[in-house]
């Protein structure tokens, strides 16, 4: 296996949830209802899939491993609301117009790729519940400090940990702590979708070279003061609300870019 686990089937680097009791507990934490279309990424042996189809109106389960795919087809053939797809999720097309949700114990080795695909596309899910390593979840939440991943997500989505697992809940047991991350689309985004690319560029430049490469010290302090937001700490730690305020100021000062 390569360092990132991409050279072998995802099942080799995946930690499976097998307890029906725990899976039902997780599903009961969601808003999944009978009229929902739900996508599962890396269906594996079908433990989640088998319960998921009881909660939603329609399920689309992706599984790239040929043996696991055939196992799913043979054991879940009676589920009329299930579409099993033997396909690499990262290369698959997402629903273009219809609303959908995601519930999945994802392969941990491609967490970032999956998050980017789901939440940077033209029609992201209304909500997603993703089983992932705690460290990755905290990175997307911006805890203890904001990251490029969290700042790219927050204008359009909220993210919070909904469940903490025991390592013994999985087979094989993972080497890291695992959580269920809930990501939900905001009813009204903090910035216009058309400004998303410029915002991510602003964040990327600010993280790499400092915000003061785009705004002067006086512009930064004035923008935050007028918005009633505390100034940036001397340590350089910058909160999401500060990034958002400064981007809006940057947009106002550089209207030609928008």
Output the CA torsion sign for 174, 179, 181, 182.
positive
pTM recorded for the entire structure: 0.92
**Hunting for tokens 């097998």 — which residue is that?**
18
Q: What share of the chain is helix, strand, coil (3-state, %, to 5)?
A: 45, 20, 40
Q: pLDDT by residue for the chain (258 residues), tens digit each?
A: 344 444 445 445 689 999 999 999 999 999 999 999 999 999 999 999 999 999 999 999 999 999 999 999 999 999 999 999 999 999 999 999 999 999 999 999 999 999 999 999 999 999 999 999 999 999 999 999 999 999 999 999 999 999 999 999 999 999 999 999 999 999 999 999 999 999 999 999 999 999 999 999 999 999 999 999 999 988 888 999 999 999 999 999 998 777
Spans of all domains in the chain: 10-185, 193-257
Q: What is the pLDDT of residue 14?
A: 80
Distances (CA, A) of 178 to 22, 26, 106, 138, 216: 13, 13, 11, 11, 42
Q: What is the CATH number of domain 10-185?
A: 3.40.50.150
Output the CA torsion sign for 216, 220, 225, 227.
positive
């Amino acid at each position: 296996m390569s360092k990132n686990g991409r050279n072998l089937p995802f099942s080799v680097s995946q930690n499976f949830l097998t307890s029906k009791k725990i899976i039902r507990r997780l599903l009961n934490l969601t808003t999944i209802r009978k009229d929902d279309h739900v996508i599962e990424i890396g269906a594996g042996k079908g433990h989640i899939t088998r319960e998921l189809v009881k909660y939603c109106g329609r399920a689309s389960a992706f599984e790239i491993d040929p043996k696991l795919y055939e196992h799913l087809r043979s054991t879940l053939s009676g589920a009329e609301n299930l579409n099993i797809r033997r396909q690499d999720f990262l290369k698959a097309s997402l629903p273009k117009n219809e609303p959908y949700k995601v519930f999945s114990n994802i392969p941990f080795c491609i967490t970032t790729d999956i998050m980017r695909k789901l939440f940077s596309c033209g029609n992201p899910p209304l909500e997603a519940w993703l089983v992932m390593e705690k460290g990755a979840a905290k990175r997307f939440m911006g805890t203890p400090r904001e990251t490029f991943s969290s700042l790219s997500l927050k204008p359009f989505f909220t993210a919070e940990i909904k469940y903490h697992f025991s390592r013994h809940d999985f087979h094989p047991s993972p080497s890291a702590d695992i959580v269920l991350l809930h990501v939900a689309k905001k009813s009204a985004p903090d910035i216009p979708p058309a400004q998303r690319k410029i915002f991510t560029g602003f964040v990327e430049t600010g993280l790499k070279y400092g915000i003061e490469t785009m705004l002067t010290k006086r512009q930064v302090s004035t923008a935050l003061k007028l918005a009633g937001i505390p100034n940036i700490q001397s340590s350089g730690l910058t909160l999401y609300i500060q990034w958002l305020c400064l981007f809006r100021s940057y947009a106002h000062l550089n209207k030609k870019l928008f």
